[in-house]
Structure 1
Amino acid sequence: MFFKSNVTMLFMIFFGFLLSIGLEFTAAQSPGVCYGMIAGNLPSKKETIDLYKSFGITRMRIYFPEAEVFEALKGSNIELTVDVAKESLQAISSNPNAAKDWVNTNIVPYSKDIKFRYITVGNEIHPGDVEAQYVFSGMQNIHDALASFNLGQIKASTAIDSSLLGKSYPPSDGAFSDAANAYMQKIINFLVPNGSPLLANIYPYFAYASDQVNIPLEYALFTQQGKNDVGYQNLFDAMLDSTYAALEKIGANNLQIVVSESGWPSFGGVGTSIQNAGAYYQNLINHVKSGTGTPKRPNQPIEVYLFAMYDENQKPGAETERHFGLLHADKSRKFPFNFK
Structure 2
Amino acid sequence: MTFAFASFRMQNHKLTKMALVFLSFFFLVASSRAAISNRIGINYGRLGNNLPSPAKSIELLESMNAGRVKLYDADHEILHLLSGKDIEVAITVANDEISAIAANQHLADQWVYEHVLAHYPNTKIRFILVGNEVFSSTNNVQDMQIARDLVPAMRRIKNTIKAQGIRNIKVGTPLAMDMMETTFPPSNGSFKPDIRELMIPLLKYLNGTRSFVLVDVYPYFRVVRQVARNNSDTGIDLGFALLRTSNMTYTDPQSGLVYTDLLDQMLDSVVYAMAKLGYDDIMLALAETGWPHDGDVDEIGANRENAAEYNNNLIKKMAAVPSNGTPARPGQIVPTFIFSMYDENQKYGPATERHWGLMNPDGSAVYAVNITGKVNPSD
Q: Normalising by the residue count of structure 2, what TM-score does the alignment of the two structures yield?
A: 0.82
Contact 2:95 2:134 in 1 (8 A): no
Alignment partners' CA distance in 1, 2:102 and 2:222: 33
2:268 aligned with 1:241: yes
2:173 aligned with 1:141: no
1:326 pairs, out of 328, 336, 358, with: 358
1:90 shift after superposition:
2.0
Alignment correspondent of 2:44: 35
Alignment partners' CA distance in 1, 2:48 and 2:264: 31
Query: For each residue in 1:26-58, what CA deviation from the matched residue of structure 2 results, as whole angstroms up to 9, or x when unmatched?
Result: 577231101011111111111111111111111
Higher gyration radius (CA): 2
1:248 shift after superposition:
0.6
2:300 aligned with 1:270: yes
- In the TM superposition, 1:167-316 aligns within 5 A as 167-212=182-227, 213=231, 214=233, 215-223=236-244, 225-230=247-252, 231-268=258-295, 269-290=299-320, 291-316=323-348
Query: For each residue in 1:152-189, what CA deviation from the matched residue of structure 2 results, as whole angstroms up to 9, or x when unmatched?
Result: 32111111111111111110111111111111001112
Alignment correspondent of 1:317: 349
Alignment correspondent of 2:69: 60
Alignment partners' CA distance in 2, 1:321 and 1:246: 28
Contact 1:26 1:301 in 2 (8 A): no
Alignment partners' CA distance in 2, 1:67 and 1:288: 30
Q: Normalising by the residue count of structure 1, what TM-score does the alignment of the two structures yield?
A: 0.91
Contact 2:131 2:173 in 1 (8 A): yes
How many aligned residue pairs are there?
326
Alignment partners' CA distance in 2, 1:200 and 1:177: 15
The DSSP-based 3-state class of the residue aligned with 2:128 is: strand
Query: For each residue in 1:234-279, what CA deviation from the matched residue of structure 2 results, as whole angstroms up to 9, or x when unmatched?
Result: 1001000001111111111110011100011111122100111111
Contact 1:92 1:99 in 2 (8 A): yes
Root-mean-square deviation (CA, aligned residues, Å) is: 2.1
Paired letter, 1:211 = Q
2:102 aligned with 1:105: no
Alignment partners' CA distance in 2, 1:251 and 1:184: 11
Alignment correspondent of 1:7: none
Alignment correspondent of 2:132: 123
Alignment partners' CA distance in 1, 2:96 and 2:83: 26
The DSSP-based 3-state class of the residue aligned with 2:114 is: helix
Q: 1:28 to 1:133 in 2, by over 3 A?
A: closer
Paired letter, 1:322 = R
Paired letter, 1:297 = R
The DSSP-based 3-state class of the residue aligned with 2:330 is: coil
Contact 1:198 1:258 in 2 (8 A): yes
2:166 aligned with 1:151: yes
Q: 1:187 to 1:28 in 2, by over 3 A?
A: closer
Paired letter, 1:217 = L
Gaps of 5+ in 2: 1-22, 253-257, 373-379
Paired letter, 1:244 = V
Paired letter, 1:139 = M
Query: For each residue in 1:298-323, what CA deviation from the matched residue of structure 2 results, as whole angstroms up to 9, or x when unmatched?
Result: 12122110001000001122321111
2:97 pairs, out of 88, 93, 96, with: 88
Gaps of 5+ in 1: 1-13
Q: 1:50 to 1:247 in 2, by over 3 A?
A: same
The DSSP-based 3-state class of the residue aligned with 1:119 is: strand
Contact 1:28 1:288 in 2 (8 A): no
Alignment partners' CA distance in 1, 2:94 and 2:326: 32
Alignment partners' CA distance in 1, 2:205 and 2:37: 27
Alignment partners' CA distance in 2, 1:36 and 1:306: 11
1:112 shift after superposition:
2.1
The DSSP-based 3-state class of the residue aligned with 1:251 is: coil
1:85 shift after superposition:
1.3
Paired letter, 1:222 = L
Alignment correspondent of 1:4: none
Percent identity of paired positions between Structure 1 and Structure 2: 32
